[in-house]
Amino acid sequence: MSQHGGKSGRFRRAAAPCLLSCILSAGLPQPLLAQTPTIATPIGTPAGTPIVNTAGLRYDADGTAQSTNSNTVTIIVAERLDVALVRDGQGAIVVSAQPVAIPLTLTNLDNGAESFVLAASVSPGMATLRALVIDTDGDGLYDPVKDVAPVDGKTPLLSPGQSIKLLAILVATPDGGTTNAVLTVTARSTTGSGTSGNSYPGAGDGGGDAVVGPTGALATVSVPIGTGPTGPILLKSQSVRAADGSQNAVRDAVITYTLEARFTDAVSGARIADPIPLGTVFVPGSLTLDGAPLSDGADGDAGRFDAGGSQGPGITVALGQIAAASAHTVQFKAKIQ
């Protein structure tokens, strides 16, 4: 689905990676902006630039050199709608009664000036979203006087390659919710978004067309939320890559799943299991543990892909004896059918 529109006191920063309460399968419990840089991106010729061309013809007639010109043709460079949104940090975020600021960076990958519609939400659980604001001075700290929500939910116009800093402000749920939560932040081009190649005639800079680029002109960041360490936990994240290089979840796009198991105390018999989601198929040879490849068969290494499990196809990785204060990461890929 595409979307289209017109142009247009400090809190502490989130702490280092922390823990969420999850279960291992083994049963273990328009504001003013600070000066922001233009980053090196393959932006190309600016949108709205007229490409003008006139050819010439020379010839001899009656012994005299003659010349004439063709008509002049002009084309306006289309605006390519693209955006990037990344979190400045990793791991789960611990929330409390005191507001926590989660910093993010939004970059205009467009070849023209573009604003972006911002949205943020928190799945029901132990955290509440207080605000999503532009970090005016880019210091990663929330100042309610300077760092305000974007007007009408849109950023100011950003020049090609320009980045701005955002802050998602979270607090713990007042009723003391115990369910883990996920913060989701999205940014989409105001001019339009959707399938790569979608065109919006006349909507680009300089009166040219606007065309949706490889990112779909839409970017999403998900951040796991918790209230502190309560034992072994399992954090899961995903990323999507389509054949055209975009993040669109279309047929034959590949989803990379990352599972990070974290342990505060020593345990034994730890084992991670994950079913292959319906609508996808496992990508053979994609299973890894801490970056090292695992075979798909039931053999001497820790990993296995079981095509006929009792709960359907899935992967399992035996971690075994685990030392205190340690972490292990499992990855695998699945292709959308």
pLDDT score of 288 more than 90 = yes
| C-alpha–C-alpha distance, residues 217 and 219, integer Å | 7
| Beta strand segments in 173-295, E | 181-189, 192-193, 199-200, 210-212, 218-226, 233-241, 254-263, 267-275, 280-282, 288-289, 292-293
Q: Which two tokens stand for residue 231?
A: 């034992």
**Comparing C-alpha atoms, which of 212, 196, 216, 195 is closest to residue 204?**
212
Q: 112 and 191 in contact (C-beta within 8 Å)? A: no
Percent of the chain with pLDDT over 70: 83
Domain ranges of the chain: 1-30+47-52+79-231, 232-337
pLDDT in tens, 73-103: 888 888 999 999 999 877 678 787 788 899 9
Q: Tens digit of pLDDT for each residue in 171-223?
A: 887 765 556 788 999 999 999 999 989 899 999 998 999 999 999 999 999 88
**Whether the predicted pLDDT of 292 surpasses 50:** yes
21, two tokens: 């309460």
The pLDDT score that the predictor gives to residue 90 is: 72
pLDDT of residue 110: 92
Contact 69, 54 (CB under 8 A): yes
175 near 158, Cβ under 8 Å? no
Sequence length of the chain is 337
Which residues 6+ apart lie within 8 Å of 274 measured at CB? 236, 257, 259, 314, 315, 316, 330, 332
How is the chain split among helix, strand and coil, in percent rounded to 5?
0, 50, 50
Asked whether the beta carbons of 70 and 94 are under 8 A apart, the reply is no
CATH number, span 1-30+47-52+79-231: 2.60.40.10
What is the DSSP-derived secondary structure letter of residue 105? E
pLDDT at 75: 83
Cβ burial, residue 213 (10 Å; 0-12/13-18/19+): buried
205 against 20, higher pLDDT: 205
Is 232-337 the same fold as 1-30+47-52+79-231? yes
pLDDT digits (tens, 9 = 90+) for 37-50: 444 445 678 888 88
Confirm if 296 and 263 have CB atoms less than 8 A apart: no
Structure tokens at 136: 């005016």
Taking the C-alpha atoms of residue 242 and residue 93, their distance in angstroms, rounded to an integer, is 29
Rg (the chain; Cα; Å):
26
Q: Who contacts 269 (Cβ-Cβ below 8 Å, separation ≥6)? A: 26, 320
CA dist., res. 262 & res. 324, Å (int): 9
Report, at the CATH architecture level, how domain 232-337 is classified: Sandwich (2.60)
Query: What confidence tier does 330 reach under pLDDT thresholds 50, 70, 90?
Result: very high
